[in-house]
Structure 1
Amino acid sequence: MAATSSESRNRSNPVHSFNKILKSSKSRSTGVEDSLKKLRGLILVEGIPAGADPTLRPRIWKLLLGINECSASTFLQYVERGPCDVREKIRNDTFRTLATDRGFKERVREDMLVRLLDAFVWKNHDRQERNQLAFTYVQGMNVLAAPFLYTMPSELEAFFCFSKFIEESCPLYVQPTLEGVHRGLKLLDRCLKIVDRELYDHLRSKNLSAEIYAFPSVLTLCACTPPLDQVLQLWDFLLAFGVHLSILCVIAQLLLMRDEVMKSASPMKLLRNFPPLEALPVIGIAVTLVRDLPQDLYDELVKHPYEVYQ
């Protein structure tokens, strides 16, 4: 009877469920794709439990990103080169990264951010000639690096996760022109016009487009809105289902403050700083909004962070 009771508790324990999927991802019979499908479903339904197992989120993020190995010698080669050619630009941003979050500041020192970003620039300096897209340091990259340094057990793992994420999930967001960001802002306006025409018209009547009020949120995939624990929960969702959904997550935040915005004669005063992030309601609304979008618009949304227009 005791064993049965223990098994029952394990089945109802989200940590156990996640660990079971992570273990099965290494099995030849199950395969990674099947494990990823189950993992995404569990993230959506349960969410990654906070605090119960500090190794859980790092392992899940690495599986979602397809990170199997992290070469210490490769990372150290980049670090040993020292400051990259845009170090001054990096330092102008790193000192203010999530500056109001005490937990982040206690865990992630500025020199860690600088080192990771320097190494990223060196890594892509070596491979620019082989790539259609060039990568260097651009505005907002410091905030995109922050969740990886906070979450991962080591700078090494944070570097490889961040690099893979930038280069494959949202490469157009970090081009010198911030092409993906500007595409995302235009898509935000188009999506909002469909899902809430009244709110869209009210903002436009005040000459407020997404370019004006949503730039920081789109640029950082919502990571600029505290608290950090909610950002991490939202990023679990984005890493599982795609960074394109961050556009719908920004709209979800607008909808959660809709009444105040609609009553305001000067909505920008409210939109300058979004209310504290609440990941679960935002995710719930974002998932619902997907169903409201025409297929061709949703296809554009999916591709906008990475597809280069010819």
Structure 2
Amino acid sequence: MSSKPSTSDTAKSFNKILALPRSSSKVRSAADLNEAVKKLRRLILVDGIPSAADSTLRPRIWKILLGVTELSANTFLEYVSRGPCEVREKIRNDTFRTLATDRGFKERVREDMLVRLLDAFVWRNYDREDSQRLGFTYVQGMNVLAAPFLYTMPSEVEAFFCFAKFIEESCPLYVQPTLEGVHRGLKLLDRCLKIVDPELFQYLRSKNLSAELYAFPSVLTLCACTPPLDQVLKLWDFLLAFGVHLNVLCVIAQLLLIREEVMSSSSPMRLLRTFPPLEALPVIGIAVTLVRDLPSDLYDELVRHPYEVVDR
């Protein structure tokens, strides 16, 4: 009977994938990177990132999954040197309460670090060409999306470039002024729930509860609003590896884990106002199985909703 590999063995497996090929001391080819990403995804799904055994793993893996290869401290410092951006007041209205109940986060990430990163992001996109179809500024929820990067990365420079790449490529529609991607995700959550658990869907509808009412924070922040942070990071390992669209199914998974209580409650919104503490492994396990239950056209729509601009 085979036993689960130890965390140190798993860490060695990750480090072996992350090591540069012998043919090059500095640069990986595109084929090398693609192969590494495939292996990383499989290990993340099967074993998870053993960050306790090697604290350098998660930041290195996130950078590879995001495709962040260039880190220019001068560029970041140039943005910072410009001072407060035009929406600094809006940023400061949110940053002080970011993950406010998490002592570990507050000890590692100061508010001024969050403000600097978000200011720099606004300045970065202030310089973008007008021809870009999507513009970026600071919007609600961006402070919480930045938090895991500042907590995980060894430096503000790395956190900034990972955050910027993540926002601009993985979920740009989630941070438009109208939060278009978030509202699409909430509608898709209702449609997916109706298929995977029609009884629960109908019960919530009988109480006039749609995803817009109970799941907005979880979709907006990719579940980063639900403590504890160590479980959020494990969930984000999965989302960065396989796609942020899967967060919609992760929210449904959290619903299914408290299904019995919800179905027996005459006022389920009281339960859903604050989800129970996040448990990443069961949530990921359920989300993966839910994929198989969805029609291919609906799943395709789910995949595209965080980034595909739809012409009207």
Q: TM-score, normalising length from structure 2? A: 0.94
Partner residue in 1 for 2:18? 22
Structure 1 residue 272 and structure 2 residue 273: aligned?
A: yes
Label 1:213 to 1:128 Cα distance change in 2 as closer, same or farther (>3 A): farther
SS in 2 for 1:129: coil
Q: Would the aligned equivalents of 1:238 and 1:246 in 2 still touch at CA under 8 Å?
A: yes
Aligned to 1:137: 138
Are the counterparts in 1 of residues 7 and 53 from structure 2 also a CA contact under 8 Å?
Answer: no
Contact 1:72-1:156 at 8 Å conserved across structures: yes
Cα distance, 1:130 vs structure 2: 3.5
Could you tell me which residue of structure 2 aligns to residue 234 of structure 1? 235
Give the whole-Å Cα distance in 2 for the aligned partners of 1:12 and 1:118: 39
- Alignment CA distance shift 1:10-1:226 (3 Å): closer
Number of the residue aligned with 1:13 = 9
Q: Tell me the equivalent position of 1:282.
A: 283
- Structure 2: state its 5+ residue gaps: 22-26
Is it true that 1:81 corresponds to 2:79 in the alignment?
no
Structure 1: stretches of 5+ with no match in the other structure: 1-8
The C-alpha deviation readout for 1:92-137, integer Å capped at 9, x for no partner, is 0000000000000000000000000000000000005131101000
- Partner of 1:162: helix, strand, or coil? helix
Paired position in structure 1 for 2:24: none
Say if 2:7 and 2:50, in contact at 8 Å, map to a contact too: no
Q: Is the 8 A contact 1:188 1:248 kept in 2?
A: yes
Q: CA deviation at 1:51?
A: 1.3
1:309 aligns with 2:310: yes
Runs of 4+ aligned structure 1 residues displaced above 6 Å come to: 9-12
Q: Which amino acid aligns with 1:59?
A: R
1:11–1:17 CA contact under 8 A, matched in 2:
no
1:81-120 equivalence runs, <5 A:
81-120=82-121
Structure 1 residues 11 and 248, CA, compared in 2 at 3 Å: closer, same or farther? closer
User: Offset of 1:284 from its aligned partner?
Assistant: 0.1
1:29 Cα deviation (Å)? Answer: 9.7
The alpha-carbon deviation at position 24 of structure 1 amounts to 4.5
Give 1:23 shift: 1.0
The correspondence of residues 238-249 of structure 1 with structure 2, limited to 5 A, is: 238-249=239-250
For the pair 1:66 / 2:67, whether they are aligned, the reply is yes
SS at match of 1:127: coil
Secondary structure at the aligned position of 2:51 is classed as: coil
Distance 1:204 1:221 in 2: 23
Q: Secondary structure of 1:207's partner?
A: coil
Alignment of 1:165-184 (within 5 A): 165-184=166-185
Distance of aligned partners of 1:280 and 1:11 in 2 relative to their CA distance in 1, 3 Å threshold? closer
- 8 A Cα contact 1:169 1:243, kept in partner: yes
The 1:81/1:60 distance shift into structure 2, 3 A limit, reads same
Q: 1:185-225 CA deviation, whole Å, 9 max, x = no partner?
A: 00000000000000000000000000000000000000000
Residue 125 of structure 1: aligned partner = 126
Q: CA RMSD in A?
A: 1.5
1:54 Cα offset (Å)? 1.0
Q: 1:103 is paired with a residue of what secondary structure?
A: helix
One-letter amino acid of the counterpart of residue 100, structure 2: A
Query: 1:28: how far off?
Result: 4.5
Retained in 2: the 8 A contact 1:24–1:35?
Answer: no
Given residue 13 of structure 1, which amino acid in structure 2 is its aligned partner? D
Q: Match of 2:55?
A: 54
Higher helix share: 1
